[in-house]
Chain A
Amino acid sequence: MSLAQLHHLSKTYALGQVRVQALTNVSLQLKPACFTVLSGPSGSGKTTLLNLIAGIDRPDEGSIEIAGQSLQQLSDNALTDFRARNIGYIFQNFNLLPVLTAYENIEYPLHLNKTPAALRRKRVLQLLEAVGLADKAQSRPNQLSGGQRQRVAIARALVHQPLLVLADEPTANLDSQTGAQIIALMRELQRQQKTAFVFSSHDPQVIASADHLVLLKDGHLQAPQPLQEAV
């Protein structure tokens, strides 16, 4: 059984006159509760692929099905609601809302899902605890360090218990020690919550911790290789 099925995805971008083939004929299956790492050199199409899976971009060709739902059939609003319910996204630059506290940033996806207040509170406190920021609940992002911000972002991506969490180079803006902690944290939460994670990274630490490694080069998939003995 697979969580997500990607069939023959292609995507080109027009950069002025030049057409950039960001992805070419990519097919892939993602298993539930699996820690997948997407690796490849810069410009190989990692972000593009993540954006397609996240449903914030649409492929030129091919189809994506997540939990039995084919994304291209959804209207813009339906796709947006689908994201709110099923996807968690962790950005390279954290992308926290600057006017909200750590608590409120984590709570935001629950608002989008119209979760009742009592449950919201319970979940947010749980996640603040899980990412080790219980004492920073009322801090604004600009009062937090990079590592702390990324922890808030991880909590935000997990708070509504999505099927799939996508992370685009989540450790690229962190020093290697903090990066390692963040990876350990994500790995742990992924096991606890039994959520599927898809990561893009060229960080060897991340690659080493993967259940499943996907290699991209110039928009082409290099033979997918399940890692037998992960960590």
Chain B
Amino acid sequence: MIGLALRNLWRNQRRSATTLLAMMIGMLSILLFGGYSRTVYYGLETDFVGRTGHLQLQRKDYFWFGSGDPQGYSLHDYQQLADEIRLDPVLAPLLRVVTPVLQFGGIAGNFDAGLSKLVIVQGVDVAAQNEMRRWNDYQLAITPDLLSMDPKVPNEAEIGVGVARMLQLCSQLTLPDCPAQEVNNEGSPDVGGSLLSADIAALATSQSDPSSPATSGAQLELLAASTGGAPNVNRLQINRAVTTGAKELDEVYLAMLLPQAQQLLYGEPGQQVTALQIQLQHSSDLELARSRLQQLIAEKWAAQPLEVHDFQTLNPAFGQITGMFAAIFGFITILISAIVLFTVGNTMSMAVLERTVEIGTLRTLGLRRSGIRRLFVSEGLLLGLTGAGLGTIMSLFFAALINQAGFSWVPPGNSNPVPITIRLWGEHQMLLSIAVTVVVVATISAWWPARRAAKQDVVDALRYV
């Protein structure tokens, strides 16, 4: 039966070839887009997992209310929690990094220039953060953007380019593409800032470590409301300004060392942070790690109300961007499936019409209606299988070609151009599901013509001219 189908397809080589080509080009467009989406997914995931870890352990409801009251929603005894996570028999083999972060809002001021800006302060363990940023489980061709602070120099920090721009630190940080604010001395743009400046500068000098090296380059004063409500100020040495890819983020980002951040918020380095970031070796272990953490929260850490969030919850942009790609991918797939449906359907209808007398002959010889139906359906199936096979091969070939060509662009969520990579090789699930879709669609589209062929009256079919 398959042999007969194959020969019939071969008989009309030109038509079969056109149909196959339509299927192959359809598959090519689905798979190239799909392969590109994979690259974007993996790129985003690598970026987000590198910055926030896979999971974060937070005090319950910190996620909703914490940034308004970081002290109230702090995590206590984080060292002990971190140690227990590292030693947990279930979690230990999955882990890569467990590290604390302290996040709170503050005011950064370049008080010499009379400027201030609201910032979101990240107090971090530099070595652990950099280890997290080196996570590259998908072997992407990227170099991680590492933190610049030296953990031994207590007042080092880095800021977003937006913060640098607004505080007019661009020249000190030698930032390109950083527009200088037009000088506007009469009616200063930030009267409050300049009024505040003297007081704060005084406070900063009084609080700063007198042994700290003579300041040079970019500096700013960071002001935060401490636990008691009294303002706390720290003078920071700014190493560099970074671009994160999102302008809003660049305009609030400030990273500094964890002990200094704790000092600023709690008045002393201590055992409180706002979250423990947990990075796993592989994203595929996320659910396992989450359920274990939830178990620990319920059974072992009942003393304080805790909860755990994954990187997708912490970075809604991930879901939005991947969701958009998934929607486009689905749309293309449906569109192409419809084209395949009509192409194969048309080819099979023409075949049925052409072979009307042949159908009558086969029926006369004693082939049942179901046999006729099978004959044409297996032709559709065969077309589908061939098209899917060739389409997959062609897509892999073109993907390799594009990857070799080394095009690049700036994808959403990134600030630097990245090479355009079509990730198909190894994406068995995607390749298989698209191939199966094509085969199923081709078979379904042969079904109707096949049914029509089988229903024909034998005598009419024989008399057909």
Question: Using a CB–CB distance below 8 Å, which chain A residues touch chain B?
Answer: 51, 54, 56-57, 76-77, 80-85, 87, 89, 91, 93, 95, 97-100, 108-109, 112-113, 156
Encode B438-465 as 1/0 by CB contact (under 8 A) with A. Answer: 0000000000000000000011001000
Query: Which one of B155-163, B260-268, B313-321, B360-368 contacts A?
Result: B360-368
Chain A residue nearest in CB terms to B7: A99
Minimum CB–CB distance for A163 against chain B, Å: 13
Minimum CB–CB distance for B383 against chain A, Å: 16
Does B353 interact with chain A (Cβ within 8 Å)?
no
Does B112 interact with chain A (Cβ within 8 Å)?
no
On whether the beta carbons of A80 and B7 are closer than 8 Å, the reply is no
**B:363-421 near A, CB below 8 Å:** 363-370
Does B113 interact with chain A (Cβ within 8 Å)?
no
Minimum CB–CB distance for B338 against chain A, Å: 31
Could you say which residues of chain A place their CB within 8 Å of the CB of B357?
A: 93, 95
Q: A89-B365, A109-B366 are in contact. Are A99 and B11 (CB under 8 A)?
A: yes
Minimum CB–CB distance for B313 against chain A, Å: 60
Could you say which residues of chain B place their CB within 8 Å of the CB of A112?
A: 365-367
On whether the beta carbons of A97 and B459 are closer than 8 Å, the reply is no
Does B8 interact with chain A (Cβ within 8 Å)?
yes
Does B4 interact with chain A (Cβ within 8 Å)?
yes
List 4 A-B pairs, minimum CB-CB distance, nearest first. Answer: A84-B366, A99-B7, A56-B458, A95-B361
User: CA A87 – CA B364 in complex, angstroms?
Assistant: 9
Chain B residue nearest in CB terms to A80: B368
Does B358 interact with chain A (Cβ within 8 Å)?
yes
Chain A residue nearest in CB terms to B358: A97
Residue with the greatest number of chain A CB neighbours at <10 A, chosen from B7, B363, B366: B366
Chain A residue nearest in CB terms to B361: A95
Minimum CB–CB distance for A111 against chain B, Å: 9
- Other CB < 8 Å A-B pairs besides A54-B364, A57-B459, A97-B361, 13 of them? A56-B462, A77-B368, A77-B369, A80-B363, A81-B366, A85-B366, A87-B366, A91-B361, A95-B462, A97-B362, A98-B11, A99-B11, A108-B365
Chain A residue nearest in CB terms to B9: A99
Q: A56-B459, A97-B358, A99-B4 are in contact. Are A89 and B11 (CB under 8 A)?
A: no
Chain B contributes a number of interface residues (CB within 8 A of A) equal to 21
On whether the beta carbons of B368 and A83 are closer than 8 Å, the reply is no
Q: A95-B357, A99-B4, A99-B11 are in contact. Are A56 and B365 (CB under 8 A)?
A: no
Q: Offer 25 A-B interface pairs, CB within 8 angstroms, sorted by A.
A: A54-B364, A56-B360, A56-B363, A56-B458, A56-B462, A57-B459, A76-B369, A80-B363, A80-B366, A81-B368, A82-B366, A83-B364, A83-B365, A83-B366, A89-B365, A95-B358, A95-B462, A97-B362, A99-B7, A99-B10, A100-B7, A108-B365, A109-B366, A112-B366, A112-B367
User: CA A82 – CA B367 in complex, angstroms?
Assistant: 10
Chain B residue nearest in CB terms to A56: B458
User: CA A83 – CA B368 in complex, angstroms?
Assistant: 10
Minimum CB–CB distance for A3 against chain B, Å: 18
Minimum CB–CB distance for B409 against chain A, Å: 50
User: CA A51 – CA B364 in complex, angstroms?
Assistant: 9
On whether the beta carbons of A51 and B11 are closer than 8 Å, the reply is no
On whether the beta carbons of A109 and B365 are closer than 8 Å, the reply is yes
Could you say which residues of chain A place their CB within 8 Å of the CB of B364?
A: 54, 56, 83, 89
Chain B residue nearest in CB terms to A98: B11
Q: A56-B459, A99-B4 are in contact. Are A84 and B365 (CB under 8 A)?
A: yes
User: CA A109 – CA B365 in complex, angstroms?
Assistant: 7
Could you say which residues of chain A place their CB within 8 Å of the CB of B370?
A: 77
Could you say which residues of chain A place their CB within 8 Å of the CB of B11?
A: 98-99
User: CA A56 – CA B10 in complex, angstroms?
Assistant: 30
Minimum CB–CB distance for A37 against chain B, Å: 21
Could you say which residues of chain B place their CB within 8 Å of the CB of A81?
A: 366, 368
Could you say which residues of chain A place their CB within 8 Å of the CB of B369?
A: 76-77, 80
User: CA A113 – CA B360 in complex, angstroms?
Assistant: 18
Could you say which residues of chain B place their CB within 8 Å of the CB of A84?
A: 365-367
Could you say which residues of chain B place their CB within 8 Å of the CB of A83?
A: 364-366
Could you say which residues of chain B place their CB within 8 Å of the CB of A77?
A: 368-370
User: CA A91 – CA B162 in complex, angstroms?
Assistant: 87
Residue with the greatest number of chain A CB neighbours at <10 A, chosen from B7, B10, B361, B370: B361
Q: A80-B367, A89-B365, A98-B11 are in contact. Are A51 and B4 (CB under 8 A)?
A: no
User: CA A108 – CA B366 in complex, angstroms?
Assistant: 10
Minimum CB–CB distance for A167 against chain B, Å: 12
On whether the beta carbons of B459 and A51 are closer than 8 Å, the reply is yes
**B:343-362 near A, CB below 8 Å:** 357-358, 360-362
Chain A residue nearest in CB terms to B457: A57
Chain B residue nearest in CB terms to A160: B366
**B:233-257 near A, CB below 8 Å:** none
Could you say which residues of chain A place their CB within 8 Å of the CB of B361?
A: 91, 95, 97
Minimum CB–CB distance for A122 against chain B, Å: 20
Could you say which residues of chain A place their CB within 8 Å of the CB of B358?
A: 95, 97-98
Could you say which residues of chain B place their CB within 8 Å of the CB of A93?
A: 357
Minimum CB–CB distance for A192 against chain B, Å: 22
Could you say which residues of chain A place their CB within 8 Å of the CB of B365?
A: 83-84, 89, 108-109, 112, 156
